[in-house]
Amino acid sequence: MAESREILDLKNVKEVVDRAAKIWGDKTALIFDETKQQFSFKEVKHKIKQFAAMLKELGIKEEDKVALMLPNVPEFPFTWLATGLLGATTVPLNYRYQKFDASYVLKHSESKLVITTAEKVDMLHQIRLEDHVDFKIITTDEVNDRADFFLDDVLNNVKDSFASTAKTYPETLMNIQYTSGTTGKPKGCMLSQKYWINIAEKIADPALIGIREDDVLLTSQPFYYMDPQWNTMAALVNGATLVVLDRFSPSVFWEKIREYKVTFFYVLGNMPVLLLKMPKSEKDKKHHVRFIGCSAIPPHLHKEIEERWGVPWYEVFGMTETGYDISMRVDEHDKYVGTGALGRPATDREVRIVDENGNVVPRGEVGEMVFRGKGMMDGYYKNPEATNEVFRNGWFHTGDLAYMDEDGVLFYVGRVKDMIRRSGENIAAAEVEEVIMLHDSVQLAACTPVEDEIRGEEVKAHIVPKEKVSEQMAYIRTLIDHCEKNLASFKVPRYWEIRDSLPMTPSERIAKHRLKEEKLAYYDRVEDKWLE
């Protein structure tokens, strides 16, 4: 039985790392599948202190921002935890970001250092020159003349072993985690050290997930997202082993599960659908998995998924801003398979369903889901207006529609937000629209979601050119090329529609609901053909 979080009550990264090394010592803590590197709990502590010493020698101090633009390599968690020892703050950068995306985050966060790979240096150096953003660059994989340092060289030249003089507390800022908002630029969620520890302590509750020291966890999402980070903290707090895949690949996913004797993993978005599409195998039920957490399990496939692999799949709901909020209880799982139920609030989370005026709606009626409780973000970085707006009346407003039944179980309905969710990625329509309208030929642009069986939703761009377009195909390809140079690949619209005008509301806002009703011919860039 795992220790309860009330007994643990760990306060900062230093306590977590010291305790893990003392209790579990030579036991394997982290395994990186791509490079076959393994680190014991003692080695993790040594690496974190080494990286902290390196950062300190480079002049990084309390409250400084260190950006990480890395794939799933050990340097990510080691630097992340090292900044925690220093009382500094990590700014994870999506590895697929291009100049437009990355420049805003680096400028807004005031990052002093970017740790990345050689392939990203030219783009980052261009940001320094053209956008006048001041930061140093360290490469992790090979030397690049435009970078300021090479990681191995800096680590080898560290003169002193790390001795922290920084005072860190539960409230010490550990991450500025940028997440796409419903309007405007991405917002930086301020996440404290206790935010991460709270998640790790909470999932040790046997009524929820019950992570134990004999568990082997697996993560396949990119480290710059939430999931590998909380998985890392969960391993350190609970003595479990974490296996890190370089990416999610449905064709080999269960093979890796069996290879490492994984007992727990979490997936989201289109992952369960993609896994179900893989050819069936006599090995499907030959594994050690006891618990699968998943966000947005397709209700009509829930029973089929469980029957195929012979293990329960539990719904889990959380947000960057709030952490781990809702999940299906172990003892209630069977009752709700295939119903689309989210489950019940976590032990430290209170949930209500409210109308547009903040009034609680009757049980069974749909409204906005709002939260309050411990372990949430401390607000949006340098954005008090957005912070006050989302924390109205002492409740965090999720922007998600749901209802609560008579027994207190929550059911997800949809979104209030103008967001598009593609393959588990949140895409702010406003951000894509802004990039499209940066092109001189565009008068107006609007982006809407299109349902997709595999990816959940795809992005459709509705374009009003400044002048009449004679060669529509060539024009659209020009805009696609423009987007690919300025946006992460997953944000580039799949569908493109050229229009004379966009429908407007009386308040002169684009009436996006009417765009879905008005059927015009549009181009599918994936299939390279026009559709009616």
Q: Is the Cα torsion angle 195, 200, 203, 204 positive or negative in sign?
A: negative
| Residue 9 contacts residue 202 (beta carbons within 8 Å) | no
- What's 215-265 look like in SS3? CEEEECCCCCCHHHHHHHHHHHHHCCEEEECCCCCCCCHHHHHHHCCCCEE
Q: What string of pLDDT tens digits covers the 532 residues of the chain?
A: 334 444 678 999 999 999 999 999 999 999 999 999 999 999 999 999 999 999 999 999 999 999 999 999 999 999 999 999 999 999 999 999 999 989 999 999 999 999 999 999 999 999 999 999 999 999 999 999 999 999 999 999 887 777 777 899 999 999 999 986 545 688 999 999 999 999 999 998 887 788 999 999 999 999 999 999 999 999 999 999 999 999 999 999 999 999 999 999 999 877 898 899 899 999 999 999 999 999 988 888 899 999 999 999 999 999 999 999 999 999 999 999 999 999 999 989 999 999 989 999 999 998 999 999 999 999 999 999 999 999 999 999 998 889 999 999 999 987 777 778 888 887 878 889 989 988 999 988 999 999 998 888 999 999 999 999 999 999 999 999 999 999 999 999 999 999 999 987 655 568 887 887 788 899 999 999 999 8
Q: Are 240 and 215 in contact (CB under 8 A)?
A: yes
In contact, 327 and 315? CB cutoff 8 Å: yes
Name the packing angle between helices 13-24 and 226-238 (round to 10°). 50
d(CA 218, CA 242): 6
Q: Is 299 exposed, middle or buried (0-12, 13-18, 19+ CB in 10 A)?
A: middle
Q: What are phi and psi of 106, to 5 degrees?
A: -65, -40
Using DSSP's 3-state secondary structure scheme, residue 135 falls into coil
Whole-angstrom Cα distance, residue 416 to residue 427? 14
Rounded alpha-carbon distances, angstroms, from residue 498 to 141, 161, 458, 476: 44, 61, 17, 8
pTM of the model: 0.85
